């Protein structure tokens, strides 16, 4: 990436020289912008904390201990980020096809309720976990596939823009799921013995194994989600379907001329991205509570938008980006308890991270990083019609 002849080297031993050696030696070049973006965001948050008269270092120390202070807290941070991987993946995959799927929120709900429903089927209690767990995960995927497929079909067949239809479907899903879980007359999936509205617990055999008893508990859904990211990355890079998807996302006209069925890709991409959200929801149902409660999924789809954009729609980069997101959210309560700083500071920091990563010109200017030819998400940037 760097050309030693072209760039005059500073004398060894100076700070600049050290910085260059570290960066080049560890090939940190592509990570520079995100790292500096995070540092800058914390500075902005720190200023805000200082304005309300609290020592930002104390607050951040509490935040960091909340995130990584003990093994339990580390596990909790990871656990918190697991569902984000799925919702961000849903966004990222659709992005690659030139679609803006903001319906992960609804797809999570429908996937989750489907998984919770299938998990209570009588035969699930009699089969071993090796059968029951894949069944429940697939059930979640099917629910998300269906709910994500609706806007896909509408887009392909009637031209209804997916941004509108997914937002509408989010709200419809929320009310539908609320009815399924709340209704007493008739009882649909509600657990009548529970004090709060929730579904009856799924069969024990369908539960995902627990890895750590943290808050929230870390479960094997982590591996499911990471595996899914790897599969998606492979599909996008190495398969015909992935190539077609990216071609449609980059230039639907060219894709059409090349003989790709654009409508088929649109429907499949939306449905598949919905199924990723569904898998995330199923793994939460099977891994944490063993029952479904609509409130648990609030904002997970919404945050997925930001995470996917932070990761520039790269399926592998979603994993660290989700971790950053989950860890910040999981560490915030300690910051509130110890330093008295509102949790919402974390939201401000998150928005700043996204801002600085996206507007890398600001970061490059402040820290004098030279531009690199990284790929950007061009697909969804071109407008509502996506063509």
Partner 1 sequence: MTAPGGRLPRRLITDLGEGDLAPSRRFARRQIVGIIFGLVGIALIAAVAPNITSDNRSFAFEPPPDPLRFEFVPTTLVTVIGVVYLVCAVLSFLPERFDRLALSAQILSAGLAIPLILGVSLALSSAPETNVTNLLDESLVLATPIALGAMTGLWCERSGIINIGIEGMMLASAGVGYMTYAVLGSASSTGWLWVSILIAIVTGGLMASLHAVLSIRYQINQIVSGVVINLFALGLTGFLRSEVIVPSGHSKGTPTPEISIPLLKDIPILGETLFAGKPLHYLMYVVVFLTWLVMYRSAWGLRVRSCGENPHAAETLGINVITIRYQAVILGGFIAGLAGAWFSMESQSGFEDNMTNAAGFIALAAMIFGKWTPWGAFGGALLFGFARALGSRLQFLSVEVGDFGIPSEFFQSLPFLVTLVVVAGALGRAVAPAAEGQPFTPSK
Contacting residues toward partner 1, per CB under 8 A: 48, 52, 100, 102, 154, 156-161, 163-165, 167-172, 174-176, 178-179, 182-183, 185, 252-253, 256, 261-263, 305-306, 309, 342-352, 354-355, 358-359, 361-362, 376-377, 380-385, 387
Comparing CB distances to partner 1, the nearer of 13 and 159 is 159
Q: Which is nearer to partner 1, 208 or 308 (CB)?
A: 308
What is the closest distance, in whole angstroms, from the C-beta atom of residue 297 to partner 1 in the complex?
A: 15
Degrees (nearest 5) of the Cα angle 337, 85, 112?
Answer: 90
Please state, in angstroms and rounded to a whole number, the distance separating the CA atoms of residues 12 and 22: 12
User: Within 10 Å of residue 221's Cβ, how many Cβ atoms?
Assistant: 27
Tell me the C-alpha distance between 226 and 237, whole Å: 17
Signed CA dihedral, 102, 103, 107, 110: sign only: positive
CB 156 within 8 A of CB 248: no
**Which one, 128 or 383, has the nearer CB to partner 1?**
383
Q: How far apart are CA 228 and CA 234, in angstroms?
A: 10
Helix (H, G, I), strand (E, B) or coil at 185: coil
Minimum distance of partner 1 from residue 61's CB (angstroms): 19
Instruction: Report the nearest approach of partner 1 to the CB of residue 43 (Å).
Output: 15
- Residue 48 CB, nearest distance to partner 1 (Å)? 7
Nearer to partner 1, 169 or 228 (CB): 169
Peptide bond into 189 cis (omega under 30): no
Nearer of residues 29 and 261 to partner 1, judged by Cβ: 261
- Residue 98 burial class via C-beta count within 10 angstroms: exposed 0-12, middle 13-18, buried 19 and up: buried
Closer residue to partner 1, CB minimum distance, 180 or 222: 180
Shortest distance, position 118 Cβ to partner 1, whole Å: 22
Nearer residue to partner 1 within complex by CB, 123 or 384: 384
In the bound complex, what is the minimum distance in angstroms from residue 362's beta carbon to partner 1?
7
CA distances from residue 19 to 118, 269, 352 in whole angstroms, order as listed: 55, 43, 25
Q: How do strand 218-219 and strand 210-212 relate by DSSP bridges?
A: antiparallel
Nearest to 203 by CA among 139, 129, 142: 129
Minimum CB separation of residue 305 from partner 1 in Å reads 5
- The one-character DSSP state at 285 is I
Q: How far is the CB of 88 from partner 1 (least distance, A)?
A: 12
**Is 104 or 137 the residue whose CB approaches partner 1 more closely?**
104
CB of 159 to partner 1, least distance (A): 4
Buried b (16+ CB within 10 A) or exposed e, 333-357: ebbbeebebeeebbbebbebbbebb
3-class DSSP state of 199: strand
Residue with Cβ nearer partner 1 (177 or 203): 177
HSE-CB at 215 with a 13 A cutoff on CA atoms is: 11
Which residues lie below 8 Å from residue 130, measured CB to CB, with a gap of 6+?
Answer: none
């Amino acid at each position: 990436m760097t050309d030693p002849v072209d760039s005059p080297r500073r004398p060894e031993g100076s700070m600049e020289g050290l910085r260059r050696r570290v960066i080049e030696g560890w090939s940190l070049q592509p990570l520079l912008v995100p790292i500096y973006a995070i540092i800058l965001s914390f500075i902005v948050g720190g200023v805000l904390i200082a304005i309300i008269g609290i020592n930002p270092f104390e607050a951040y120390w509490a935040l960091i201990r909340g995130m990584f202070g003990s093994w339990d807290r580390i596990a909790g941070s990871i656990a918190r980020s697991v569902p984000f991987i799925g919702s961000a993946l849903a966004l990222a995959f659709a992005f690659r096809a030139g679609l803006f799927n903001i319906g992960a929120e609804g797809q999570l709900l429908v996937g989750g309720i489907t998984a919770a429903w299938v998990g209570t089927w009588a035969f699930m209690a009699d089969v071993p976990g090796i059968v029951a767990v894949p069944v429940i995960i697939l059930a979640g995927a099917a629910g998300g596939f269906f709910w994500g497929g609706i806007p896909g079909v509408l887009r392909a067949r009637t031209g209804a823009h997916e941004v509108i239809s997914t937002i509408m479907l989010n709200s419809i899903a929320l009310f539908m799921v609320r009815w399924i879980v709340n209704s007493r007359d008739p009882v649909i999936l509600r657990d009548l013995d529970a004090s709060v509205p929730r579904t009856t617990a799924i069969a024990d055999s369908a539960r995902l194994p627990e890895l750590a008893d943290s808050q929230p508990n870390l479960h094997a859904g982590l591996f499911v989600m990471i595996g899914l990211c790897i599969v998606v990355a492979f599909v996008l890079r190495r398969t015909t379907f992935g190539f077609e998807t990216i071609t449609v996302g980059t230039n639907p006209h060219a894709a059409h001329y090349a003989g790709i069925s654009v409508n088929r890709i649109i429907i499949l991409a939306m449905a598949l991205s919905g199924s990723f959200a569904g898998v995330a929801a199923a793994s939460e149902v099977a891994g944490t509570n063993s029952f479904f409660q609509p409130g648990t999924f609030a904002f997970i789809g919404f945050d997925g938008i930001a995470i996917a954009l932070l990761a520039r729609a790269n399926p592998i980069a979603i994993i660290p980006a989700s971790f950053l997101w989950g860890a910040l959210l999981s560490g915030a309560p300690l910051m509130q308890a110890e330093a008295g700083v509102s949790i919402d500071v974390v939201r401000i920091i998150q928005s700043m991270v996204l801002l600085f990563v996206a507007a890398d010109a600001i970061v490059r200017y402040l820290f004098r990083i030279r531009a690199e030819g990284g790929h950007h998400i061009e697909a969804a940037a071109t407008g509502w019609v996506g063509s």
